Amino acid sequence: MDSIFDEIKMEVGEVSKEALENHFSGYYKNAGRLTNYRKELVQVAAVAVAMIECLDRNDNDGFPEKPNIRS
């Protein structure tokens, strides 16, 4: 079973692939490519949120309290 780190590395790789393909294929000519790029970005965000939730749930070292990210 892959770790969460393997998962986010894979998702970031897929975003990179879509970004490069969009850049070099003239993305403005193919809206479907932008849709794929957006989907991959959403998947990266979802994995990142899962990682943050895991940190919060397990109260890992270095985070005795949830960090205040709004300051």
Where do the domains of the chain lie? 4-58
Percent of the chain with pLDDT over 70: 70
At 55, is the pLDDT very low, low, confident or very high (cuts 50, 70, 90)? Answer: confident
Q: Are 43 and 14 in contact (CB under 8 A)?
A: yes
**What is the rounded distance in angstroms from the CA atom of residue 51 to the CA atom of residue 40?**
17
**Does 42 have pLDDT greater than 50?**
yes
Give me the helices (H) in 1-71, please: 4-25, 31-58
**What is the rounded distance in angstroms from the CA atom of residue 71 to the CA atom of residue 30?**
40
State both tokens at 71.
């300051």
Q: Angle at the Cα of 16 (from 13 to 19), degrees rounded to 5?
A: 155
At 1, is the pLDDT very low, low, confident or very high (cuts 50, 70, 90)? Answer: very low
